Amino acid sequence: MDATLRGVTFAKMTGSGNDFVFFDGREVDGAGLTSPEVIRAICSRHNGIGADGIVILEPIGDPDQTSPGASVQARIRYFNSDGTPADLCGNATLCSTVMAIELGLAEADGMGLDTPAGRIASRVVYGLPEISLQPVDVPTSHVAIDLVSGEQRMGLVTAGIPHLVVLCENA
């Protein structure tokens, strides 16, 4: 791992089976963390911290001048473990909700998180994070991938970012 990361504070969080390395955007040089080589080194499960991706959480707006949840309090910059940026990761957004509260960027009863896929409203209810994603579009059934045994059909949907959805007889 890059020696320039020595002493950099981070947190590791798990959400719905994915794990992420979080950095407080107020305390790190985001430019130094976002090169694909550095991200791959951090996410390496063999000689890095090990993760599915990294998140840089940055404050934006002035929460003292707005009502809770009315404006965006934090920006999520998410990168996959291969170093590519992604517009959105649902599980990383769930974790970001908790981390924004931990870092004092937002309140548990409601916040806005800015992502390249758009603004996500989130909150913590009964101790668990919740996010409000945009409605999923109607699936397209024009996918040039052959079905395998047990798969009934597949389609493409957008839920913030594109997903391939496969209907199976038994998941």
Does residue 3 register a pLDDT over 70?
no
Instruction: Residue 43: name the closest of 76, 25, 7, 18 by CA.
Output: 18
pLDDT in tens, 82-121: 999 999 999 999 999 999 999 999 999 999 999 999 999 9
A 10 A CB-CB count for 65 gives: 8
Mean pLDDT score across all residues of the chain: 87
pTM exceeds 0.75:
yes
Does residue 163 register a pLDDT over 50?
yes
Sign of the torsion formed by the C-alpha atoms of 36, 41, 44 and 50: negative
Determine what percent of the chain is predicted with pLDDT higher than 70: 91
CA dihedral 151, 152, 158, 164 (to 10 degrees): 20
Does residue 61 register a pLDDT over 70?
no
CB 78 within 8 A of CB 88: yes
